[in-house]
Amino acid sequence: MKPRAVAAPLPNRHLPNADWADRFELALDGKGMTAAEAAERSLGRSPRWVRNLLRIRNGAVSIIGLKTAAPGPGRLGLVGAFPVLEKSDDEVVLGLDDKHLDFRIVVDVRAGSAVNQIVGVTTLIRRHNALGRVYLAAVMPFHKMIVPTLLEGVGRSGR
């Protein structure tokens, strides 16, 4: 099954002042995956083309003084390039705050039917200024390709 876009209502407790959000979900056969496993299988194992886009992004934004990497793993570690801010069996929250915008990525798992599980990825953004609005507009076409691709990785990974 392919990931599908679903509504991502605002406000959201993980970034209460967010002014933009989206969400993708994937139904998996079987149950028992934790949010941490889903986060690692998606964000921790990105395809080469995604890693290459991130390198290009980092080179471009470093010129204008935006963060190109997490300041450190934080108390809960990193998943891929993102610091873990909160973690439970059902939900992992990753994110960074920068001068142009703050973002959170929420990876969650929940029971679907009696035989499957739903894995969701919600992206929350709080834009601070015109640079944040321009940045989000520029990355949006890539975001809409990358997030479903990463979510598909959850289903492809061995259990």
Flag whether 143 is in a domain.
yes
Where residue 159 falls among pLDDT bands split at 50, 70, 90?
A: very low
CB atoms closer than 10 angstroms to residue 95? 20
Flag whether 132 is in a domain.
yes
pLDDT top residue among 74 and 39: 39
Flag whether 114 is in a domain.
yes
Flag whether 119 is in a domain.
yes
Flag whether 68 is in a domain.
no
pLDDT at position 101 over 70: yes
- Tell me the mean pLDDT in the region 114-142: 92
On whether the CB atoms of residues 117 and 110 are closer than 8 A, the answer is yes
Tally the domains of the chain.
1
> What percent of the chain shows pLDDT beyond 70?
92
pLDDT at position 157 over 60: no
Domain holding 94: CATH number? 3.30.530
Tokens read off for 138: 């520029």
Flag whether 105 is in a domain.
yes
Q: Cβ contacts of residue 63 below 8 Å, gap of 6+?
A: none
Domain span including residue 53: 4-62+75-156
Tokens read off for 106: 């929420």
Flag whether 70 is in a domain.
no
Flag whether 136 is in a domain.
yes
